[in-house]
Structure 1
Amino acid sequence: MTKIDSSRQRTVEIYADGACKGNPGPGGWGAWIHYDGHEKELFGGEMDTTNNRMELTAVIRALEALKRSCHARVFTDSVYVQKGMTEWISGWKARNWRTSDKKPVKNDDLWRLLDGLAQQHTVEWVWVKGHAGNAGNERADMLANKGVEQLMQGGVAS
């Protein structure tokens, strides 16, 4: 978490998810942003990607959509994203984007981007069990799958 005073910030809830048809394969990402009765849906996809990249992209796109600094409560069913941002990233950065066994961090391009975006906000990383009836997570999953479907039908995806 960054050191911004969250007591004076608005709280935005973000549900983010990724999907992949094959791993690697065509993938989609989706995010549902909810704030004070307002909401925004975001989704897109990539032809040759992995599920982890789509999970990261969903959160990145959601944070990019925020117009000003806020307290963002990010809900994800990805342990990779949640633990990456709360436990692993400080070590990766200290080791110049290397894992504890000296290997390059996978997806470091996205981790670096996410790290920079997260520093603009006070982010709370909340893990939720996937496909367990959480309405926000189910909505993000639907959007991620919509991103894949749009891609497979030849639509424009980001």
Structure 2
Amino acid sequence: EEGGEVTVYTDGSCHDNGSTTAKCGGGLWYRVDDQRNMAIRVGPPIPQSNNTGEVVAVMKAIQLHRDTRTIEIVSDSQYTIDIITKHAKRWLDVGLAGVKNKQLIRALIGELAMSENKVEIAMRKVKGHSGDAGNDRADAMANEGARKPNADEIDLSTGEAVKAIGAKVAEISQAMAYTLIKERK
């Protein structure tokens, strides 16, 4: 599979979502008895939500397959799919002004930028909790991750390069520039 094609199901989970005791996880599922199947405990400072768990899982899948020609990521998260297929370039152009989960999204965009021209990343949407075996198993891994007592290390380092790039001045309105200035203080 390395150098070729790989399919991975990803999911995010959050127990007590929206509360101060929330704990979230991300899951990667390849197939039965695959050593790459992974349950990730996402800890602070990353905000605890099912969306951040999903973004972490997708980002981890990309990080694990930097030497793969094609990665098919199967997800039930329209939020994450939209970040990758619709929002990433525009958000980068405006310096991620007003974007929630900025540190995490910046790192995901960094992974996408590092992979560009090397790895084809194909996103496939699957309906959650619909009996799709791969999605159900990724969901189980994400839940297992959320239950882990200690947070796993999440590599957000590619976000620093994105942060250094900043925003395209031509793409920024006066209000957006004000938001960016406030965020940098």
Q: Same fold (TM over 0.5)?
A: yes
Q: Provide TM-score, normalisation by structure 2.
A: 0.68
Quote how far apart the aligned CAs of 1:38 are: 5.9
Distance in 1 between residues matched to 2:85 and 2:43, nearest whole Å: 29
* Partner residue, 2:159: none
Q: Secondary structure of 1:106's match?
A: coil
Distance in 2 between residues matched to 1:38 and 1:51, nearest whole Å: 24
* Partner residue, 2:141: 143
Q: Over aligned residue pairs, what C-alpha RMSD do you find? A: 2.0
Correspondence 1:33 to 2:33 = no
* Partner residue, 2:75: 76
Identity %, equivalent residues: 30
* Partner residue, 1:18: 12
8 Å Cα contact 2:65-2:71 kept in structure 1: no
8 Å Cα contact 2:24-2:49 kept in structure 1: yes
1:43-58 equivalences in 2 (<5 Å)? 43-47=39-43, 49-58=48-57
8 Å Cα contact 1:42-1:62 kept in structure 2: no
* Partner residue, 1:88: 87
Out of 115, 132, 135, the position equivalent to 1:134 is: 132
* Partner residue, 1:5: none
More helix by share: 2
* Partner residue, 1:60: 59
The CA deviation string for residues 115-145 of structure 1, in whole angstroms up to 9 with x for no partner, is: 2223312101111100001111111001001
8 Å Cα contact 1:28-1:146 kept in structure 2: yes
Distance in 2 between residues matched to 1:33 and 1:63, nearest whole Å: 13
Distance in 2 between residues matched to 1:82 and 1:50, nearest whole Å: 16
8 Å Cα contact 1:33-1:62 kept in structure 2: no
Quote how far apart the aligned CAs of 1:150 are: 2.2
Quote how far apart the aligned CAs of 1:70 are: 2.1
Quote how far apart the aligned CAs of 1:67 are: 5.3
Q: Provide TM-score, normalisation by structure 1.
A: 0.79
Distance in 2 between residues matched to 1:51 and 1:94, nearest whole Å: 26
8 Å Cα contact 1:19-1:55 kept in structure 2: yes
Quote how far apart the aligned CAs of 1:111 are: 1.6
Distance in 2 between residues matched to 1:91 and 1:52, nearest whole Å: 20
Correspondence 1:117 to 2:114 = no
Distance in 1 between residues matched to 2:67 and 2:122, nearest whole Å: 16
Distance in 2 between residues matched to 1:47 and 1:62, nearest whole Å: 18
8 Å Cα contact 1:32-1:39 kept in structure 2: no
* Partner residue, 2:165: none
* Partner residue, 2:178: none
Q: Secondary structure of 1:40's match?
A: coil
More strand by share: 1
Q: Which has the higher contact order (CA 8 A, sep 6+)?
A: 1
Q: Which has the larger radius of gyration?
A: 2
